[in-house]
Structure 1
Amino acid sequence: RDARRPFCVLFTDIQSSTHLWATVPEAMAEALDRHHALIRQLIAKHKCYEVKTIGDSFMCAAHTPEQALAFSVDLQRQFYACEWGTAIDDVYREKELEDSDDARPYWPDPLPLEAYRRQWNGLRVRVGVHYGAGDIKLDPVSRGYDYYGTVVNTAARVESVCHGGQIGATKAVYDALRGRAPDVEWTDLGPQPLRGLAEPVHIVQALPCGALAARAFPPLRLDRD
């Protein structure tokens, strides 16, 4: 490929995975196998590239923003449609009740069970996407390609400040799409200071239309980055 040609980097991660492992380890072990299988199916379906896994996080690359966005949106829909049982949702709902106190006045109120089930089901995966130029090198040991540069660091930082079930894209992704995303509702979250990056990064939320369009998220997790 042309080394000067930009590409997309995506990172995924499971919300509260450490807490889930501590609370419902058996359900989490089964869910993680399903998580990996689903993501790898989507990587193949959308012609992306699995760069590496780090724990329960995936780093992927895509030639175009269209591929990256299609992967991200499909991920949210497929994870919602999957059968996860009830143990994981019970943990998430309990944690939401703990977080909905006066110390977090801008967080959405916990949903009644019926409304919750229309928006959430099982593992919540956050996705961060950036589009730009970088270096691609073949690892002689793994015989796989690895990706380097600010494009990688930016995608990782965007993912880290999002919430489970949320897709955070940089404005570079949004601008490159030029409106070619009719199945997505965009919300401008503005420039955000991200750790390790010299300049604020303009983040835009991509929310799938349809059944998941009612999802609401707290402010970005800037204190966690």
Structure 2
Amino acid sequence: ALQKAKILRNSLIGGATGLLLFLFLLWNRYRMKVRTNQELEAKNKIIEAEKARSEALLLNILPRQTAEELKATGKAAARKYDSVTVLFTDFVAFTQIAEQTQPEELVAELDECFRAFDDIISRFNIEKIKTIGDAYMCAGGLPEKNDTHPEDVVRAALEMRDFMTHFAEKQRANGRPEFKIRLGIHTGPVVAGVVGSKKFVYDIWGDAVNLAARMEQSGVPGKVNISRHTFELVRGKFRTEYRGKIEAKNKGPVEMYFIENQPVD
């Protein structure tokens, strides 16, 4: 009887030990699985964050529709727009200012102006196209078409002009050179798209772009100069001053108007 009891006790101890070992192995396996899942989840979060950052950077360069098309096919088809309002700005005598200013200070001041312009056009649903040196180019009515782009772009241009007025006051107070701005607007058909395979840039082409540039070049510092066609589209919404036919480079005499934000009588 004593021998049987001893065998039974050893069997129970062995069984309990085996069970504990089995439970330990299960727990250890569960712990490793949890840790692996946590590590995988952390890695997935990092991947998603990087993906979101890359997406944001891409959308900061290209319109969403164009970016999606590029990601899907590797290229984006050009699109024709029958009516787009193009705005050019340029700082008067910028080359002379640059020669008298430390590069770091000049870039900081230019950055302050262009960041303000970016904020303004964002509120008016206008697409920034590019900056070329001290020139700033944007357009309303694309990539999503709308009917309000002539008025939107004019209002944005007037806000840009007003910002530069305040900026000039601050520059004078700080003994810094003033930035005097010309702004030109024209409305017409353009083709928009991305060309090439390196450093993608969304751009627009057409005679409307050239004429908008001529509006800026033929303008006066502190004034928004618009073409006859843009004037017709915003007639009655702003106070305007007819300038007559002004000679524009490679265009001949072109009808132009100064436009202001005061209410029409």
TM over 0.5: yes
Where does structure 1 lack aligned partners over 5 or more consecutive residues? 92-121, 211-225
How far off its partner does 1:124 sit? 1.8
Q: Does the 8 A contact of 2:218 with 2:246 survive in 1? A: no
How far off its partner does 1:88 sit? 8.3
Using a 3 Å threshold, how does the CA distance of structure 1 residues 90 and 177 change in structure 2: closer, same or farther? Answer: same
Name the structure 1 match of 2:209.
152
> What letter is aligned with 1:42?
I
> What letter is aligned with 1:188?
Y
Alignment of 1:1-225 (within 5 A): 3-25=80-102, 28-63=106-141, 64-82=149-167, 84-86=170-172, 122-140=178-196, 141-181=198-238, 185-197=239-251, 199-209=252-262
Where does structure 2 lack aligned partners over 5 or more consecutive residues? 1-77, 142-148
Q: For residues 22 and 4 of structure 1, what CA distance do their matches in structure 2 show?
A: 40
RMSD of the TM alignment (CA)? 2.5
Q: Greater helix share, 1 or 2? A: 2
> What letter is aligned with 1:176?
L
How far off its partner does 1:151 sit? 0.3
Q: Does the 8 A contact of 2:155 with 2:261 survive in 1? A: no
User: What percent identity do the matched residue pairs reach?
Assistant: 23
Deviations 1:75-115 (A, max 9, x none): 11222234633278775xxxxxxxxxxxxxxxxxxxxxxxx
> What letter is aligned with 2:123?
K
Using a 3 Å threshold, how does the CA distance of structure 1 residues 24 and 171 change in structure 2: closer, same or farther? Answer: same
Give the alignment's TM-score, normalised by structure 2. Answer: 0.60
Q: Does the 8 A contact of 1:187 with 1:205 survive in 2? A: yes
Name the SS of the counterpart of 1:190 in structure 2. Answer: strand
Q: For residues 149 and 201 of structure 1, what CA distance do their matches in structure 2 show?
A: 17
Q: Does the 8 A contact of 2:79 with 2:191 survive in 1? A: no
Using a 3 Å threshold, how does the CA distance of structure 1 residues 202 and 21 change in structure 2: closer, same or farther? Answer: same
> What letter is aligned with 1:133?
P
Q: For residues 259 and 133 of structure 2, what CA distance do their matches in structure 1 show?
A: 25
Which has more radius of gyration? 2
Deviations 1:161-207 (A, max 9, x none): 222211100011110113123xxx3110111221122x421110113
Q: Does the 8 A contact of 2:79 with 2:192 survive in 1? A: no
Q: For residues 98 and 173 of structure 2, what CA distance do their matches in structure 1 show?
A: 11
Give the alignment's TM-score, normalised by structure 1. Answer: 0.69
